[in-house]
Amino acid sequence: RGDMGIFGKKKPPAAAPPPPAAMRANPGSPRVDSPRVDDTRPSPGATPKGEHDTSDGSRSDSSSASSSSDSDAEGSDAPAPPTYAGTPCTMRLAIGVDGGGTGTTCVVVGDDDDEHLGRCELRDRSANANSVGFESALRAVLDAVDGALDDALSGTRWKKEDVTLGVDDATAGKRALAVVCAGIDGDADARRLRNAIVARAPGLARRLVVDNDAAGALASGTGGAMRGIALVA
């Protein structure tokens, strides 16, 4: 619009034309100057409203500076893990979690794929965040992992914290965790759950997969080939 300036402000009104000579004050009367139009302009160093100076001298809009990204919001879901001062477990462990709408199951497998070391079934604990909320779903997954690790490590010198929290170079490549849950319907859902698990169980972060529970059914039915169609009724 013609009455708007470059920063979205209305332009100041144009200066009134000088009065005709006949209407000017008498020569003997004191002269009164009307204010100049450019007196209302911002000073050369002023910053327009809604903007702020950056360190390199450029300007940025305050609305964009105050916005936060989705990844920042996701990080708020996960508190810092508890302090760990033990010895990380060096056993080779593969951990799988199947989180459904009515229950959550975790199985721990050792070096031999047929060697089931531990198992935990939470029959009344849903891991579907759409049904029970994100925090309850996350807690069901972590509780199932803890229970299966307690079972798997029984009789050894290790504790579950030596797996979920303990991590060093000696453990690299020796742990894997796959979590498949109902209600994970896209990358954003998977990323949110993955970030929360990593924050609470950093020892399982290096090889961690999070997906919809249909992916678990397909992997199981195809021997890991992941080619075909999975039907969940």
User: Measured between alpha carbons, how far is residue 188 from residues 76, 164, 211 in Å?
Assistant: 15, 24, 11
Position 112 pLDDT exceeds 80 = no
Position 2 pLDDT exceeds 60 = no
Could you tell me the pLDDT band of residue 82, with boundaries at 50, 70 and 90?
confident
Give per-residue pLDDT as tens, 118-161.
Answer: 999 999 999 999 999 999 999 999 999 999 999 999 999 999 99
Give the tokens for residue 120.
């935990």
Question: d(Cα 202, Cα 185) in Å, to the nearest integer?
Answer: 24
Position 71 pLDDT exceeds 80 = no
Start-to-end Cα distance in the chain: 59
Could you tell me the pLDDT band of residue 80, with boundaries at 50, 70 and 90?
low
Q: What is the mean pLDDT of residues 199-206?
A: 92
| Most confident residue range from 54-63, 109-118, 210-219 | 210-219
Position 34 pLDDT exceeds 50 = no
Nearest CA to 141 among 103, 186, 183? 103
Q: What is the CA radius of gyration of the chain?
A: 33
Could you tell me the pLDDT band of residue 48, with boundaries at 50, 70 and 90?
very low
pLDDT value at residue 231: 84
Give per-residue pLDDT as tens, 170-193.
Answer: 888 899 999 999 999 999 999 999
Q: How confident is the prediction for the chain on average, in pLDDT?
A: 76
The pTM of the full predicted model, rounded to 2 decimals, is 0.65
